[in-house]
Structure 1
């Protein structure tokens, strides 16, 4: 216990110190600099940060809990979707997003389609879905703090929240990137060590897997849910990665689009390793140690493994790794939430809102959303992965096809983007709240619905003009510059 507390206190103090350093390094910067970290982050740091931002508390606890109760095949469908989503982002999104010279996903939508209704709806969708995502992550922090400090869950959430809200609001993307880099290194070290421990104690990979299969045959089968649920889990993550703000914003922070692509590749490689080591190897030994018995809280499966399988020093570092997973994700999402409100939504409602005012409002928005999510985290549901994946299903159903078609289909216009966004969101919510469907299967209907409406409404209305397509056309070739902006204003 003492070792765990010392390691955690040192880790939290380091995160606070990084936030102070980042604030001093970019105090005079613009809102764009605050949200992108100056757009000069290198390949390795950005790649590890991408991994850390996406490998959430759900990855370190929720995914393993879902593997324990639903079988490793179900969570593998999720993780296969993650891998495909990273590839889509790297090869079909990164170059144009980076060359557009924007700061956020809603800003890309605004610059591509310039539809005021859409410019209001998109930030609101992001605010709703990312808030749900944050609540799921905070449950992980609360559970771990409760176990580590032996204090009530509520105060655990408040303690962790105070640290990540501070360094995110105070240091912006620079602080988030540096802390995510540190957190990513801790996380991958924990993953590798615990995976090796599982294999060693299990007598080798083959023996470990066979014993777990013998104790819990359903763990290796795809019978926990209907097959449409497996398809839905895959589709959610294969599509949402392309427009998930706390991943996409890493492209904006990279030195250039090639660095952004390379960073995404590194991030997905680290995530694949994490998935195999945690959801298969670690959970296999957990099944053996627990004889396949039901757990009071499935999300605590990894904590059971740590209690029974590793020495105290490894446990202390692993606790820090889980905290790192929580804080790396929530800090990046908080930054995206602050940007969605202050930079995108208010920027649309008040076009004359100055850059200086945006720069001041974004940190205040981060603090506000941080407090809101702390309050909502006090009584969260079980099975974290299903909670935040449902929110991501709504985000993907709404924005995936408007974004991807906006990049690659010249005929796509603002009417199609608006129709696709609304059709995807509304159909997803109707299916989620109005029908009893297998987990995450709603997206198998809502995503094609969004595609259909995007295409039909674009074809039924006037195509975008050459002037409206100018910025995206340039972005397919090279970075859009201030000189291009000046020339565009003169043309307009």
Structure 2
């Protein structure tokens, strides 16, 4: 058994122990679904970042940087990380006020409609199931690669690892294990990048050499590789892609169930706002580190056949054993954190949003765990069909929520005219519009420009349905009352001292952004331009 596999198994056993400890404290549905609504800022930041990052970031997107698109990814992330702040300010804190157990339940309460709740629950089930399958497969491929196990054995090991603590402890366990995983993979990423850049001569020398790298010309240019054998033919088209996907994923971060559901666990609204600001800054820092790491690997080995394995190769061949084990364990932790979040939300949606039963809390807890187990088994069965690319599958699954939920989510808080029928058909139209456009493009029947990405087509279809149907339907009195209640600030949130402390956080975030920009100018922009100077 390799040292890397031993590290993974040891970490999984640790997470199972923590999850089981947390599971003993689960007594009520609030404990299982929303961790008792008492999580502090650190735990919310940990679960926000951990549930967002997965094998897609550490393997798919870092492999994308290895291929020649490091700073194009940073353009995308600079846009999408703003979704944390926008989402918390204009959606997340109001969701918390609703006291819902799930985000689809919030929609059901807001529009006084079980049909709207069921539509949101069904999109949650389909979208997160696809995401769960892709991330599970990515983790299984990692275990298979470093442990020498057959794919099916690796898949069973990964599935059992995240299922064991998620089924028992629900959100109370997920928020604790997510935070531990977040601390682990963050430390691993920074240490791994530091060692790798040191091995390639330091950051400035690495940037200079990559600027003149003939095998992938333009690898560190802001637009990445362009031309005949690249993904995009011109800098304008690559920038368009990054901006469109950045806005889409900003919407995903702002309204998707695996992000906004974290705010339901927060101790108060101040925690929601602080967590969003810290998460945005941390996400940007992590991506800077990961993208630089992915690009730098080219200087040691520019011929890795599968770019998604570039960081794994570096961990196993370039780094000291202890650091390689830490980095691979960190990547696995990122995968497990996303898997546990997706599995729990799938189970919650099936039990709470799609099937409504009149049961006492004890029986509902037992049913939730059984439904979660059944959902996990279905996902496991589907996961035996391997994906062609982790990155592109997760991008498709994630953007379904930008199309189907984006317009409805923000209008549910800020529009007095949106009606329950409009919300229902807006969700349906956005979801189906995205899927239909994606399949037509996949089959080669249409060639869509970047400004007509399937997520934009779905989003426009959703918005058009909402506006059209709202003109011909009426808002009910129940909807008016609920919306008015959302905009009444609870007395508990009127603590002036707490608000003052919260206002310090965005200032720290802005200062961090300025310092990061200055560092990138000094360590990247100047050496890059000097290397290209005649």
Q: What SS does structure 2 have at the residue aligned with 1:119?
A: helix
Shift of 1:147: 2.3
Aligned counterpart, 2:260: 248
Aligned: 1:376 with 2:387: no
Shift of 1:77: 4.2
Shift of 1:354: 4.5
Between the aligned partners of 1:305 and 1:379, the Cα distance in structure 2 is: 27
Aligned: 1:20 with 2:20: yes
Q: What SS does structure 2 have at the residue aligned with 1:14?
A: helix
The answer to whether the Cα contact below 8 Å between 1:64 and 1:299 also exists between their aligned partners in 2 is yes
The answer to whether the Cα contact below 8 Å between 2:85 and 2:273 also exists between their aligned partners in 1 is no
The answer to whether the Cα contact below 8 Å between 1:15 and 1:179 also exists between their aligned partners in 2 is yes
Aligned: 1:259 with 2:268: no
Aligned counterpart, 1:108: 106
Structure 2 counterparts to residues 12-411 of structure 1, below 5 A? 12-26=12-26, 28-29=27-28, 31-69=29-67, 71-215=69-213, 216-219=216-219, 220=221, 221-222=223-224, 223=226, 224-225=231-232, 226-227=237-238, 228-279=240-291, 281-291=292-302, 293=303, 295-347=304-356, 350=357, 352-411=358-417
Between the aligned partners of 2:44 and 2:351, the Cα distance in structure 1 is: 25
Between the aligned partners of 1:174 and 1:117, the Cα distance in structure 2 is: 29
Between the aligned partners of 1:442 and 1:206, the Cα distance in structure 2 is: 39
TM-score (norm 2): 0.84
Between the aligned partners of 2:314 and 2:2, the Cα distance in structure 1 is: 19
The answer to whether the Cα contact below 8 Å between 1:100 and 1:479 also exists between their aligned partners in 2 is no
**Greater alpha carbon shift after TM alignment, 432-441 vs 335-344:** 432-441
Aligned counterpart, 2:519: none
The answer to whether the Cα contact below 8 Å between 1:235 and 1:444 also exists between their aligned partners in 2 is no
The answer to whether the Cα contact below 8 Å between 1:187 and 1:324 also exists between their aligned partners in 2 is yes
Measured against aligned partners, the alpha-carbon deviations of 1:185-232 in whole angstroms (never above 9, x if no partner) come to 101101111121232123232321232232222423343334443343
Shift of 1:258: 0.9
The answer to whether the Cα contact below 8 Å between 2:62 and 2:290 also exists between their aligned partners in 1 is yes
Shift of 1:402: 0.7
Shift of 1:326: 0.6
Q: For the structure 1 residues 38 and 116, does the alpha-carbon distance in structure 2 shift closer, same or farther, using more than 3 Å as the test?
A: closer
Between the aligned partners of 2:401 and 2:339, the Cα distance in structure 1 is: 17
Shift of 1:480: 11
User: Could you list the runs of 5+ residues in structure 1 that have no partner in the other structure?
Assistant: 482-492
Q: What SS does structure 2 have at the residue aligned with 1:404?
A: helix
Between the aligned partners of 1:6 and 1:152, the Cα distance in structure 2 is: 16
Q: What SS does structure 1 have at the residue aligned with 2:62?
A: helix
Aligned counterpart, 1:471: 482
Between the aligned partners of 1:120 and 1:38, the Cα distance in structure 2 is: 24
Between the aligned partners of 1:287 and 1:184, the Cα distance in structure 2 is: 27
Q: What SS does structure 2 have at the residue aligned with 1:396?
A: helix
Shift of 1:70: 5.4
Measured against aligned partners, the alpha-carbon deviations of 1:394-444 in whole angstroms (never above 9, x if no partner) come to 222111111110011111111221221122122212211123446892112
The answer to whether the Cα contact below 8 Å between 1:424 and 1:447 also exists between their aligned partners in 2 is yes
Aligned counterpart, 1:484: none
Aligned counterpart, 1:486: none
Between the aligned partners of 1:314 and 1:4, the Cα distance in structure 2 is: 10
Aligned: 1:434 with 2:440: yes
Q: What SS does structure 2 have at the residue aligned with 1:290?
A: coil
Between the aligned partners of 2:408 and 2:440, the Cα distance in structure 1 is: 25
Q: For the structure 1 residues 139 and 210, does the alpha-carbon distance in structure 2 shift closer, same or farther, using more than 3 Å as the test?
A: farther
TM-score (norm 1): 0.91
- 2:470 paired residue among 458, 465, 490: 458
Between the aligned partners of 1:108 and 1:298, the Cα distance in structure 2 is: 41
Between the aligned partners of 1:66 and 1:379, the Cα distance in structure 2 is: 23
Measured against aligned partners, the alpha-carbon deviations of 1:257-289 in whole angstroms (never above 9, x if no partner) come to 11122112222222111100001x101211111
The answer to whether the Cα contact below 8 Å between 2:315 and 2:325 also exists between their aligned partners in 1 is no
Shift of 1:86: 1.0
Between the aligned partners of 1:13 and 1:419, the Cα distance in structure 2 is: 45
Q: For the structure 1 residues 438 and 380, does the alpha-carbon distance in structure 2 shift closer, same or farther, using more than 3 Å as the test?
A: farther
Shift of 1:386: 1.1
User: Could you list the runs of 5+ residues in structure 2 that have no partner in the other structure?
Assistant: 493-534
**Greater alpha carbon shift after TM alignment, 212-221 vs 396-405:** 212-221
Between the aligned partners of 1:460 and 1:169, the Cα distance in structure 2 is: 44
Measured against aligned partners, the alpha-carbon deviations of 1:432-480 in whole angstroms (never above 9, x if no partner) come to 1123446892112221222222122212221332x32223322222359
Between the aligned partners of 2:67 and 2:385, the Cα distance in structure 1 is: 22
